Amino acid sequence: MTLGRLNHIGVATPSIPAAVALYRDLLGAEAIGEAFDLPAQKVRVCFVDAPNSQIELLEPLGADSPIAKFLEKNPAGGQHHVCFEVADIAAAVADLTAKGARVLGAPRIGAHGTLVVFVHPKDMGGVLVELMETPKEGH
Ligand SMILES: CC[C@H](C(=O)O)C(=O)SCCNC(=O)CCNC(=O)[C@H](O)C(C)(C)COP(=O)(O)OP(=O)(O)OC[C@H]1O[C@@H](n2cnc3c(N)ncnc32)[C@H](O)[C@@H]1OP(=O)(O)O
Ligand SMILES: [Co+2]
């Protein structure tokens, strides 16, 4: 696989509205999307756009959300993952698996409507890495 652009940084928060206020009022964020639920991934999502990337604010949907456990350990929230784009997610999964990295589950549709997958943080120096298939032109 070849590492593509940094698509977003995932930030877990107990409150998307409170986090949005910080990015808007403290940092001057001007392009903030509407929050939306992603039930299949057990998260509520809101994107804060920066000129060259995005912050993906994440609230847990339900006690079994992957964010819930993170927030138990980090009640105020915090940096959760980084997401890079790849041209071909299946090829990336095969490559990573062949290299011995733990790919978590099968690719599934993420918040941008394209296939995403995660690599276990223990195989990436303590960083939870998400890979997202680059949206096809015009999609
Ligand atoms: C897909 C929609 C959206 C998008 O962009 O499109 C998203 O990004 S949704 C993001 C939320 N979804 C996920 O994170 C799915 C992948 N995550 C997982 O499978 C788990 O959260 C996992 C495996 C990373 C952790 O599992 P779990 O929380 O059940 O286990 P532990 O808490 O015991 O953690 C095990 C070990 O990993 C360390 N850990 C956990 N989370 C993170 C993290 N975000 N960054 C770095 N390290 C993390 C944790 O500290 C444990 O380490 P240890 O040394 O044993 O304490
Ligand atoms: Co993400």
Task: For ligand 1, say whether the CB of 56 is within 6 Å of any of its atoms.
Answer: yes
pLDDT at 109: 96
pLDDT at 30: 95
Nearest atom (ligand 1) to Cα of 111: 6
Phi first, then psi: give them for residue 87, nearest 5 degrees.
-75, -35
Within 10 angstroms of residue 110's Cβ, the number of other Cβ atoms is 24
137 pLDDT more than 80: no
Q: Please give the average per-residue pLDDT across 98-119, as a whole number.
A: 97
138 pLDDT more than 90: no
Paired with 53 in beta bridges are: 50
Q: Whose CA is nearest to atom 12 of ligand 1?
A: 66
Q: pTM higher than 0.90, yes or no?
A: yes
Domain ranges across the chain = 6-133
Distance (angstroms) between ligand 1 centre and the Cα of 65 equals 10
Over residues 21-31, the pLDDT tens digits come to: 999 999 999 99
d(CA 139, CA 6): 19
DSSP three-state, residue 40: helix
Going by pLDDT thresholds of 50, 70 and 90, the confidence category of residue 76 is very high
Q: Please provide the CATH number assigned to the domain covering 6-133.
A: 3.10.180.10
Task: Judge contact between 37 and 61, C-beta under 8 A.
Answer: yes
Q: Please give the average per-residue pLDDT across 39-46, as a whole number.
A: 97
139 pLDDT more than 70: no
Over residues 10-19, the pLDDT tens digits come to: 999 999 999 9
Above pLDDT 90, what percent of the chain? 96
Task: For ligand 1, say whether the CB of 61 is within 6 Å of any of its atoms.
Answer: no
- Ramachandran area for residue 30 (φ above 0: left; ψ -120 to 50: alpha; else beta): alpha
